[in-house]
Amino acid sequence: MLDDILRSRRDTRHFTDEPVPDEVLEKALRAGHMAPTVGLTDATQYYVIKNKEVKQEIKKLFQKYNQKASDLIENETQRDAYTALKLEAIVDAPLGLVVGYDRSVLNTFTIGTIASNDTIRFSAVCAVQNIWLSLTEQGYGMGWVSILDHYQFKKLIALPEEVEPLGYFCIGKPATDYGHQPMLQQQGWKQKSAAPTVTEVKKVNRSTYPAFEQSLNKPIENELLEEQIQLIIDRKTKPAGALGILETLALQMGKVFKTTSPEIKHPHLVVFAADHGIAQHGVSAYPQEVTGQMVKNFTEGGAAINVFCKQHSISLNIVDAGVNYDFPPNLPIINHKMGRGTRSFLHGPAMSADQVQTCLFKGSEVTNSLFRAGCNTIGFGEMGISNTSTAAVLMSLLCKYPIEQCTGKGTGVAGENLDKKLLILNQAIQNYTGSREPLAIMAHFGGFEILQIAGAMLQAKQNDMLLLVDGFISTVAFLCAYKMEPKVKSNAVFCHLSDETGHRLLLQYLDAQPLLQLKMRLGEGTGCAIAYPLLKSATSFLNEMASFDSAGISDKDQ
């Protein structure tokens, strides 16, 4: 009997107008409630929709994303088949159902979530399957609509901020049996495989990434070289110090590149992206899905960093350090995924000590690959919803500042939501009873992208590369690198003062002078790209500007 139900279950898209009896829905929802629920949290929530106006508005949201889906289908035959599908179920089905999960259950420790916060979402998926099977057994069908703007969908149906929807489900009496096969197969989209793919694992794979090793025991800096560069700067046809910070940059670049004629070669900007478990507690104005969406935007050339890199001929690289999304392998993304985001650090560690070492190693690999290709200047950007929360706690503990001085609005959190963010971060710090050593703090509160950036920065120092530091998040990544090896600072250029709370204080802690102050707080490495022309100006005046001797001009000493 169960086998028959499993075989006949369909993702239904065609419905009659026959109403769904209350007792049918009640039985199905009871079946959903019987599904496994991690830690007995009862986090799964249900919202029933019968109103036609609400359905019409949901359909409008669907149509926007549906067109995007159609545009991404490269095969013309498949695209035609897709656009020919009947997609009126949102309106035609007599009943709509939203299944979601309440992430506020994570505000207290939940057994079964220590390895992954996604388990509360997986529980909701189990409930969906139970509902589907119950409806099928009762002679009804259900269709899953997942092509929706998550953020707008929540606003449209006024979901509580802490409830995340899996999607919109259409429920009703099926108008067809689809020839006893999946609808997409009936429509000629593709054939479902006849049997499951099963592979037996016969042995333990013990391959691991080597631990990150710092090798900065280099000879003492060449003081004679510094004197030579400074003399060249001072002999240019200008008053001493008249070019201000550009003179400081020129001297620094000459020392980093170990030459009196420094040149920027094959500049790259690398954006490291990852998700953070602390996002489950509502510390950001945007849902976690935005991280993956923005990474795809980077690959399509639509983000601010794409524009600025193109403007200044800087090569852009994207690293998936741990995004909670599976990107297709054919996208131009470096896959250094450590997992689908860190764990929440509210009640336990975000990652293990081994993961910290692996992050550092993977970051160093990125730098080395660019260095081998001829790059000597590398900028660092980041993307990750809630990474301002992670960065604020790291700054607070590593610099020993109150969390209130380190925490800002991030993606736009303000008012009561900012108070809530501070409350959660304070609680996380109070819950921490571990070592106060930097690496232990990084393991408990760190982010995959932040620590990969730290490893990449340390390797840039090792390779005598110039490293460009963006805003608040990237500066916290630099702070992590600096705590491991203070010498890394000699290679760092701090590109701008972010408008994010805490950045000014952090730069003061590092005794670092930012090049620009533009009230920016976007991240992505945008500050690096915008400051880049100043670096070019520094090398240009050093290498091309006439000296008093070459121009035959008397200076003040003559």
What positions carry a catalytic annotation?
Answer: 524
Q: How far apart are CA 122 and CA 468, in angstroms?
A: 40
DSSP string for 429-455? HHH--S--SHHHHHHHH--HHHHHHHH
Rounded Cα–Cα distance for residues 288 and 164 (Å): 10
Among candidate residues 274, 501, 486, the one with its CA nearest the CA of residue 392: 501
Alpha carbon distance 396, 391 (integer Å): 8
Instruction: Return phi, psi of residue 378, to 5°.
Output: -135, 130
The percent helix, strand, coil of the chain (3-state, each to 5) is: 45, 10, 40
Q: Which of 237, 346, 333 is nearest to 281 (CA)?
A: 346
End-to-end alpha carbon distance in the chain:
104
In contact, 496 and 520? CB cutoff 8 Å = yes
Of 472, 397, 444, 38, whose CA–CA distance to 277 is shortest?
444
Task: Return the amino acid letter for 231.
Answer: L
What the block records as the tokens of 347 is 């009640």
Closest CA relative to residue 96, chosen from 32, 160, 169, 10: 169
Return all residues near 305 (Cβ < 8 A) that are at least 6 apart. Answer: 269, 271, 298, 316, 381, 524, 525, 526, 529
CB 296 within 8 A of CB 406: no
Looking only at the bridges linking them, the beta strands covering 268-274 and 95-102 are unpaired
Distance (Å, whole) CA 304 – CA 327: 21
If you ran DSSP here, which 8-state letter would residue 321 be given?
E
Q: 3-class DSSP state for residue 403?
A: helix
The sheet with strand 466-469 has its strands ordered as 334-335, 315-322, 268-274, 377-383, 466-469, 492-494
Backbone angles phi, psi at 438, to 5 degrees: -55, -45
Residue found by looking up tokens 């690293």 in the block = 319
Tell which residue, 474, 464, 509, has the closest CA to residue 495. Answer: 474
With tokens 């689908």, the residue in question is: 340
Residue 220 per-residue DSSP state: P
